[in-house]
Amino acid sequence: MDKRHDIARDLARRYGTLTAEQIKMLAELLVPIRLKRHQLLLDAGSVCENIYYVERGLLRQYYNKNGRELTEHIAPEGGIVMCIESLFRRMPSHLTIETLEPSTVYAIPFDAFMQLCEKAFPFCRLLLSILEESLIVSQHKADTLRYETAGERYRRTLHDLPDIVRRAPLHIVASYLQMTPETLSRVRAQANATE
């Protein structure tokens, strides 16, 4: 069976209800992309034209500020990656998307997906659910940065997203949690000492 059909069925199960025919229509849009470790999927300054589903691997979104790479989002298998503002406004992205491991992603071309949305409401509901999850993840991260200590952020990430802590390099995890690698090492040591 075509792997694209499996991915479309998984997206339908997670984000909405599609008929067998609609799953087939979604599967026909999916574009598999195989990437090596540290390969760019989207470079800052380019327009994001796809929603990406991570089938295998680990991806991160980051931006540069004062010569430092700051990690905005990390997505393991089953995750969705996109640059929302660039996708909707057709403007160059400030974010870069790169792989942290050899990865396979499936691109959902946004223009073609919007054409499906015009044909049938369940595709609109699917898109809305994907965007809803993305916004909730962003809000959740913003709230943890506002209200939690470095130790609380680390423990929450370890609990909620163990793949990120286990698989991403230490300096990337530190950047994602908005702390220095030294602070992360101290927080990890304290967390391990209390276990």
Would 75 be classed as within a structural domain?
A: yes
Would 8 be classed as within a structural domain?
A: no
Report whether pLDDT(7) > 70.
yes
Residues 122 and 151 in one domain: no
CATH number (domain holding residue 104): 2.60.120.10
pLDDT in tens, 140-166: 999 988 999 999 999 999 999 898 999
Residues 124 and 162 in one domain: no
Would 5 be classed as within a structural domain?
A: no
List Cβ neighbours of 195 (8 Å cut-off, separation of 6 or more).
none
**Single pTM value for the model:** 0.92
Order across the sheet with 50-56: list the strands: 31-35, 103-109, 50-56, 80-81
Spatial separation of the C-alpha atoms in residues 155 and 158, rounded to whole Å? 5
Residues 123 and 35 in one domain: yes
Report whether pLDDT(1) > 70.
no
Share of the chain above pLDDT 70, in %: 99
Residues 144 and 61 in one domain: no
Residues 35 and 119 in one domain: yes
pLDDT in tens, 35-72: 999 999 999 999 999 999 999 999 999 999 998 999 99
Report whether pLDDT(178) > 90.
yes
- Asked if 157 contacts 184 with a C-beta cutoff of 8 angstroms, the reply is no
Tally the domains of the chain: 2
Show the domain range for 124.
30-130
Would 82 be classed as within a structural domain?
A: yes
Residue 195 — very low, low, confident or very high, per pLDDT cuts 50/70/90?
A: low
Would 35 be classed as within a structural domain?
A: yes
